[in-house]
Every structure is written in structure tokens, then in C-alpha cells.
Amino acid sequence: MSELTDELRRGFWEVMTLSRAFDDAMIALYWEGKLPIFQFGAGPLPGELHCSNGAEPVGAGVCAALSPDDMITADHRPHHVAVARGVDLNRMAAELLGKKPGLSQGKGGHMHIYDPAVNFASSGIIAEGLGPAAGMALARRLQKRPGVAVAFIGEGAANQGAFHEVCNMVGLWKLPVIVVVQDNEWGVSTAKSESTAVERNADRASAYAMAGEWVGTNDPDDIYLAAVRAVARARAGEGGTILELKTARLTGHFMGDQQAYIPEQMKQVDPLPLYRAKLIRDGVMTAEEADAIEARAKERMARAMQFAKDAPYPDPREAFDHVFAGEAA
């Protein structure tokens, strides 16, 4: 499990290209109806859209270290984690378009992705996935069932009170929780150095009797190996880990973010071409194989997008359904 096999690494490339294909397709659709006058609510893909371009190695590397029993909460930027976890791609695409066959029948949208079949949930409120993730781990302990919970947050979320409260309880109760801090350097327009007293959030782990690890490469190989170590500690009853992963945010906080606040020396690097070159260099795959995998990902995404576009909208009366469980829907 902890060996970096060729098969595993090709899998990372598959997952990352599929995630990128998902976001690129959504970005293209997002601008339909929003030009020349930009308005969040216009077009076939309305609302805010926070894309994961640049963060694909995080989803690919961490999710490969997990088993189906494990549980995930993601945040307002959930696509790369959801794709890597195997969330139903057709239904996720349909959800982004607000369609009836969407994961939430059009009630969630892109920040609220739930797929219980793969133990995946997300929340649009910063740091709000931390408590639920720790609670899922607690539930498994009470149920005497295996399961590690992973909360994916951004580096900005590490400054929320919930981070302190939950990490303290994870350490106190030695809960099998991994807090993945995705450091993409920016909380909207606020740089990490402008918001965070310490350079690395992983260093905060010592305050909570958790393990802390930092990976600075945005490379799925390194991320995977660190995640495997964190999962092993959690499964062995050694408690939680704050796993901070330096990553990238190539398409801004959300679509429409011009990112004029990013200085030239902080321009970020796309991890996908780097990883592609690395795998070719290491003899894991040829350039042709890499391209073929990428092409298959785009085709897969095209089918998902077609499914979403062809799907019907929910009936307006359905707005009143699902406020409560156990009521006629």
C-alpha cells in the first residue's frame, strides 16, 4: 500500500487529468451567458464557482491512501477531492448545473457536494467540515467500525476557531482524523503571510498533541507517502495529523477573480505538466500514453457534461421538499 508503484502513479495522472478536465469543462460553460456583462447568476452554470485547477495532486495523493470505509469532508473548493474519491461524475456535473439527477437534486450546487456512497460531504463555510469529520471518526469509534476521517481545508481555515477547537479534541481523544491543510497561499486576496502568525500550520500540531507533516512540492508522489503515514498513525490508534500541503490556485478564488493582487514573484506553477514530465522521465509511461490518458479523461468528462446538459431541471415545487427528513417529498 505504501509502495509508489507505476500503476499507482499512472492512477495519479488519470485522476489529476480527470479533475482538470472537469474544471476546464465547467469553466468553459461558466462563461456562457456571462459575457460581456458578468453576473454570477447568469448562464447555464450560475452561482459562484471555485475551481481546483492546480490542487489536483492533493486530491489524487491523499485519496489514494484511503479505503472505502474512510470519510471525507471538503470545503467550498471540492472538485479535485470529489473526483479523486470517486464521487459520481455524471451526477456531480448535473448538480453543478442545478439539474434533477444531480447528487442533491439541484439543492446543493458546487460547494455542497454529498455522495454518501463514497462517504463524501462538503460545506461552503470555511472550516465547517472539521467538526463533522471529527464526529464521523467518533461515530466509527462508538460503532466499533474502522474508518479514518479526513477534513480538507484551506490554509485560511486554519485561522478559524473551529480549527483550534476540533484539533484540540482530536488530540485529546486521539481520534483518527487527518486535517489536510491545502496551502494555496491565498485566502481570497489575503496572502498566508498576511493572515497567519506561523509559516507552517503543520507546526501548530504540537499544540494539539497531533502529528504534523508538511509537503512543499505539490507532487502526488510525496503527498501520497505523507498521507499513507498519517493514515497508518490513525489506524494504529496514534491519533490525528495536521498534514499541510503546499499547492496552487491557478484560477483565482472564484471565476471572475482577476488576481491583480498577485505579484509577479508569486505566480504559481501548474503541477500537471511537471508530473507528466516526471512520469515520462521515470519511465512510468510514454508521452503517447500520457496523452492517451488525458484524452480519455476529457472524453469521460464530455460524457458527464452531456449527461448534465441533457438532464431536466427539478420541478419548481420541489423547492419545498427535503427541508425535513421523513416528510412526504
Partner 1 sequence: MSDRILTMSRAGREALDWEMERRPEIFCMGEDVFKFGGIFGTMDGFGAKYGPERVISTPISETGFIGMAVGAAMAGMHPVVDLAYIDFIGVCYNVLLNTASKTHYMSGGAVKVPMTLLIGTGGGYNNAAQHSQCLHATVAHIPGAKVVYPSNAYDAKGMLHTALRDENFVIFLTHKGTAGVGWMGTPIRTTLSEVPIEPYTVPFGKVRICRAGTDVTITGLGMSVHEALKAADALEKDGISAEVVDLRSLSPLDRDGILESVAKTGRLVVTDEDYLSFGVSGEVIATVVERDLSALRKPPIRVTTPDIPIPFSRPLEQAILPLAGRIAEAARRLMA
The contact set with partner 1 (CB under 8 A) reads 71, 73, 102-108, 112, 114-116, 121, 123, 125, 128, 130-143, 149, 161-162, 165-166, 168-169, 172, 321-326, 329
Cβ contacts of 205 within 8 Å, gap of 6 or more: 167, 211, 212, 241, 242
Please report which helix (H) or strand (E) contains residue 199, including its range. Answer: none
Minimum gap (Å) between residue 66 Cβ and partner 1 = 15
Minimum gap (Å) between residue 50 Cβ and partner 1 = 16
Nearest residue to 225 (alpha-carbon basis) of 72, 57, 73: 57
Distance between CA atoms of 167 and 219, rounded to whole angstroms? Answer: 26
**In the complex with partner 1, which residue's Cβ is closer, 144 or 281?**
144
**In the complex with partner 1, which residue's Cβ is closer, 164 or 298?**
164
Minimum gap (Å) between residue 310 Cβ and partner 1 = 19
Distance between CA atoms of 275 and 130, rounded to whole angstroms? Answer: 30
Nearest residue to 85 (alpha-carbon basis) of 116, 111, 107, 108: 116
C-alpha distances (whole Å) from 163 to each of 27, 184, 322 are: 31, 17, 30
**In the complex with partner 1, which residue's Cβ is closer, 80 or 140?**
140
Nearest residue to 167 (alpha-carbon basis) of 137, 131, 198: 131
Phi, psi of 63 (to 5 degrees): -65, -30
Minimum gap (Å) between residue 15 Cβ and partner 1 = 23
317 bridge partner residues = none
Please report which helix (H) or strand (E) contains residue 153, including its range. Answer: strand 149-154
**In the complex with partner 1, which residue's Cβ is closer, 198 or 319?**
319
**In the complex with partner 1, which residue's Cβ is closer, 134 or 250?**
134
Burial letters 157-192, b for 16+ CB under 10 A, else e: bbbbebbbebbebbbeebbbbbbbbbbbbbbeeeeb
**In the complex with partner 1, which residue's Cβ is closer, 105 or 241?**
105
Minimum gap (Å) between residue 129 Cβ and partner 1 = 9
End-to-end CA gap in the chain: 44
Opening angle at CA 65, ends 135 and 70, nearest 5: 25
**In the complex with partner 1, which residue's Cβ is closer, 265 or 320?**
320
Minimum gap (Å) between residue 188 Cβ and partner 1 = 18
Minimum gap (Å) between residue 130 Cβ and partner 1 = 7
Minimum gap (Å) between residue 99 Cβ and partner 1 = 11
**In the complex with partner 1, which residue's Cβ is closer, 186 or 208?**
208
Specify the DSSP class assigned to residue 196. -
